[in-house]
Amino acid sequence: MARPDIREEMGKLAANRRRFGYRRLGVLLERKGMVMNHIGARKAKGPGDLLQGGALYRLYREEGLSVRRRRGRKRARGSRPPMPEALRPNQRWSLDFVSDTFGASRRFRILAVNGDCCRENLGLVADTSISGARAARELDAMVRLHGKPVSIVSESPMAAPLVRAPLATGPSSPARRS
């Protein structure tokens, strides 16, 4: 049976270093002079005295200190078909948010809306903060000026709600209120 001081010390080390496994915790315990062999606990005899993993791993598991495995990064499965080219005006608009800083470290954002067919810049909206309601109002204004696009695309996750929301089509449908 292992000494309670080793259990306690291992618990303290694991609380401070959550991502350390039993082997790295064992090295830290060795540095403090607490060494485990295959039978139980003993004092370290010297700097070359190695740790046997069996007893330490058993204690590590009994104390519930196991590090949970991180899930891998989600990747797209397969390949996407290429996006068809826009052949006429208002077939597809592209949205993008761009940000930069002024000299005094003040950030500002720009909402850029481009027509993909003619590569025409339909509008730029610059401000220190652009809310979703403001972006929707600006898009509605661009629709009244240029007509309603067939589709809107964006790579920005911030623009996703704008892309999914229906646009006003002019006098026949009510404009958004914000």
- Evaluate whether residue 173 is within a structural domain: no
Amino acid of residue 145: L
pLDDT digits (tens, 9 = 90+) for 36-45: 654 455 555 5
Q: Are residues 106 and 150 in the same domain?
A: yes
Is residue 123 within 8 Å of residue 113, measured between CB atoms?
Answer: yes
Structure tokens at 166: 């229906």
Q: Are residues 99 and 160 in the same domain?
A: yes
Q: Are residues 42 and 96 in the same domain?
A: no
Distance CA 147, CA 149 (A): 7
Q: Are residues 101 and 160 in the same domain?
A: yes
pLDDT above 90 (res 113): yes
Q: Are residues 58 and 100 in the same domain?
A: no
Measure CA 1 to chain center.
44
Q: Are residues 98 and 151 in the same domain?
A: yes
Q: Are residues 99 and 143 in the same domain?
A: yes
pLDDT above 90 (res 33): no
Q: Read off the pLDDT of each residue in 135-147 and give the average, rounded to a whole number.
A: 91
Q: Are residues 160 and 122 in the same domain?
A: yes
CATH number at residue 137: 3.30.420.10
Instruction: Please give the residue that has the higher pLDDT: either 172 or 147.
Output: 147
Q: Which of 23, 46, 62 is the last residue in one of the domains?
A: 62
- Evaluate whether residue 19 is within a structural domain: yes
Distance CA 40, CA 3 (A): 8
Angle at CA of residue 118, ends 172 and 168, nearest 5° = 15
- Evaluate whether residue 72 is within a structural domain: no
pLDDT above 90 (res 46): no
Helical segments of the chain, H only: 4-16, 22-31, 53-62, 132-146, 160-164
- Evaluate whether residue 155 is within a structural domain: yes
Average pLDDT, the chain: 78
- The predicted pLDDT at position 4 comes to 79
Q: Are residues 105 and 154 in the same domain?
A: yes
- Evaluate whether residue 49 is within a structural domain: yes
Q: Read off the pLDDT of each residue in 171-177 and give the average, rounded to a whole number.
A: 42
Q: What domain count does the chain have?
A: 2
Name the residue range of residue 37's domain: 4-62
- Evaluate whether residue 79 is within a structural domain: no
pLDDT digits (tens, 9 = 90+) for 49-104: 444 557 788 888 888 887 777 777 777 777 778 888 888 888 999 999 888 888 77
Q: Are residues 106 and 160 in the same domain?
A: yes
Q: Which of 24, 45, 62 is the last residue in one of the domains?
A: 62
Lowest mean per-residue pLDDT among 7-16, 28-37, 87-96 = 28-37
